[in-house]
Structure formats: C-alpha cells, structure tokens
Amino acid sequence: MAGLVPDVAEQLEFVRDIYNLAKSRGEQNYAACFKPLRSFIRFGLKEIAKTESEWKIIEDADIDGTKYAHETNAKEDLGRILDPSWVFDCPICQGFETVVAELAESELIDNQVVTARCACVQCGFVVGKDAEYMSKIVLASEIEKRREKILKELGQVE
Ligand SMILES: [Zn+2]
C-alpha cells in the first residue's frame, strides 16, 4: 500500500483484511468485503459534489446546533437498538464520534471488546447482521483506543 494516500491505503487494507476474515469464516458473499470502500468513495463523491448553497446550509446547521441535535438523536435511537453499544469515530468519513457499534455482551463478560452491527450517523456506513465480522476489522483501531474505558464501564473488571 506504499505510495497511496494514507486514507485510501487504510480503506484498501480494510478490504484485504475483511476478505481474509470472510474467507476463513467460509463466507460466500465476497462482494460485501468492498462495502467500506464503497461507502468511502460514495461519501467522498458527495463531499466534492456539494454546491456552495449546500455547503452554506451544512455550515449554518453546524453553527446553530441543528446538525449536532440531529446526530445526537440518531445516535440515541441507534443506542436503543444496538444494546450494549459504544460510540466511535468513523473510519470511513472520519466523523468525530459518529459511529454507534453494538458490543457482543458475551465477550464483555470475558473482558473482550468485540463489535457486531454498527452504523455511522454522518456517512451512512452500516454493518448489519449479515456481516457483523466486518465491524471488527473496520473498528479495530477505534476499539484499541477505547478498550480500557469500555471495559471499565461495561466489562466485568474485578
Ligand atoms: Zn461515517
């Protein structure tokens, strides 16, 4: 991946790592391995295709708190569905604390942080029940950064 823009290299590493994990699990749908890359490209295209008016609307929503309120509500809704859950930064759109990820309760009992389904309220990246293993790869570095805090709050640390 040398020579690539770091963000793009990371996305290609996700594809490779998800493919290897899917293969080891005997998954049949390898096209799903490209889902994070597809979301990354789609979000990037949306960003560069915005008009001045759209940027102004987004900027205004950021200033008056509308965007924050909308994202907070969306995260709360997701938190009720994905329980227990934790909020992470998005590795697809780089959103600050925009991904809500379900944590495997059975793993927390053993003091392991393993994510399952997840969704980003900024870019729309979603991992459903059909490919839960994907979130382990995509959120790996985020999990590492927050593991101690998550286990302190939700784990069985003695
Ligand atoms: Zn995102």
Distance 157 CA to ligand 1 centre (A): 31
Question: What's the CA-to-centroid distance between 144 and ligand 1, angstroms?
Answer: 18
pLDDT in tens, 71-86: 999 999 999 999 999 9
In a domain, 133, yes or no: yes
Q: Has residue 75 been placed in a domain?
A: yes
Q: Is 1 among the domain residues?
A: no
Tell how far the Cα of 21 is from the centroid of ligand 1, in angstroms: 22
Tell me: the pLDDT tens digits for 39-60?
A: 999 999 999 999 999 999 999 9
- For residue 150, being part of any structural domain is answered with yes
158 Cα to the center of ligand 1, angstroms: 34
Model pTM score: 0.89
Query: Per the domain annotation, does 104 fall within a domain?
Result: yes
Ligand 1 center to 102 CA (angstroms): 15
Domain count, the chain: 1
Q: Is residue 77 part of a domain?
A: yes
Biggest CA pair distance of the chain: 54
| pLDDT tens per residue across span 85-139 | 999 999 999 999 999 999 999 999 888 999 999 999 999 999 998 888 899 999 9
Judge whether 118 lies within some domain.
Answer: yes
Kindly state the DSSP code that residue 84 receives in the 8-state scheme.
S
33 C-alpha to ligand 1 centroid (Å): 17
- In 3-149 the beta strands, taken as DSSP E runs, fall at 85-88, 99-103, 115-120, 126-127
| 28-33: average pLDDT | 86
- Cβ proximity of 43 and 92 under 8 Å: yes
Task: For residue 26, report the distance from its CA to the centre of ligand 1, in Å.
Answer: 28
pLDDT at 1 over 90: no
Q: Does any domain span residue 53?
A: yes
CA angle 48, 51, 52 (to 5 degrees): 115
Residue 86's domain comprises 6-154
